[in-house]
Amino acid sequence: MNISGSGSHSESVSEFILLGFPCSREIQVILCMFFSIIYLLTLVGNGAIICAVCWDQHLHTPMYILLGNFAFLEIWYVNSTVPNTLVNFLSETKAISFTGCFLQLYFFFSMGSTECFFLSAMSFDRYFAICHPLHYATVMTGQRCFNLVISCWVCGFLWYLVPVILISRLPFCGPNVIDHFVCDSGPLLTLSCVPAPMPKLTSYTLSSLIILLSFLFILISYALVLLAVLRLPSASSRHKAFSTCGSHLAVVLLFYGTIMVMHVSPGSSHSALMPKMMTLFYAMVTPLFNPLIYCLRNKDMKNALWKVLEKFKISLKVFGSRPRRNME
């Protein structure tokens, strides 16, 4: 990806200024501490899901393998924006290099696209498991699950590659101030010295396609699941299916509700604060709540997390007893 090879186009601008949340120094420090807590909780929550899926043999099924990859994705999703945001809170210049800005843009949108693919894959997995239970084990084999996971990662990272290259090759001759806390495509397009209809159209089209098509696919999948669940004879089976699918659907609504406002409504008039709040929600708040949503209504995951906690306690006891033995 040639993001720095724009030649003379980018000679006037070597860095961008991310305004973030303009406020007093004291408020900046408080926001930095608050965002740091959210960041650490997100890492711990999603990391716990990854450990549970890896260590518990009962969770080595397609549904939990997809969930483990989704948790891994969420960790990198927040890492694509939050560390730089925390640094900017304490920085005087709030500058990010030209290359760094477009790398952040690429990874931020690639992670978002990959999340759309994984949410679609998870909805398809639940549809097949509930609507076609007799064929599920033979169709969703380990190899097919592996292929599905790889496809989500590859497609997600290729989806937004062309718009990033097109935008990076635009001439930026000043100003270089971005009224946001991340390098987003919209503010970058407005900073271009020349009209950019093709990059703008490509960016909007690909963003809208991945959001709308995946959301429509997920809604159809869960609508079919709902019809199948209502026909289940056992009340306990219906409750289990509703719990699993309900948590998945809650995550879908949290994520898609905000990105649709941001990326599928270019004609709507947003205030200066609105894009920041929407981006903050789907880039930081959603990854924080996802582990809670998936775990609170899932007995298998809760049991696996308790096992992880027990192993962690045992490891701490073993580690704490070693110095005493050495002293003796």
The pLDDT of residue 275 is: 79
Low-confidence ranges of the chain (pLDDT < 70): 1-11, 236-238, 240-244, 263-272, 296-297, 312-328
The identity of residue 101, as a single letter, is C
Q: How many CB atoms lie within 10 A of CB 7?
A: 9
Q: Give yes or no for a contact between 263 and 145, defined as CB atoms under 8 angstroms apart.
A: no
The pLDDT of residue 222 is: 87
N-to-C CA span, the chain? 59
Q: Where are the domains of the chain?
A: 15-263+271-308
120: CB partners within 8 A, 6+ apart: 214, 217, 218, 221
Q: Does domain 15-263+271-308 have CATH number 1.10.3720.10?
A: no
Q: Where are the beta strands (DSSP E) in 53-98?
A: 95-97
Tens digits of residue pLDDT in 118-152 = 999 998 998 888 888 888 888 888 899 999 999 99
Q: Give yes or no for a contact between 301 and 44, defined as CB atoms under 8 angstroms apart.
A: no
Q: Please tell me what DSSP assigns to residue 10.
A: G
Q: Give yes or no for a contact between 64 and 247, defined as CB atoms under 8 angstroms apart.
A: no
67: CB partners within 8 A, 6+ apart: 49, 53, 122, 294, 301
Angle at CA of residue 34, ends 274 and 88, nearest 5°: 70
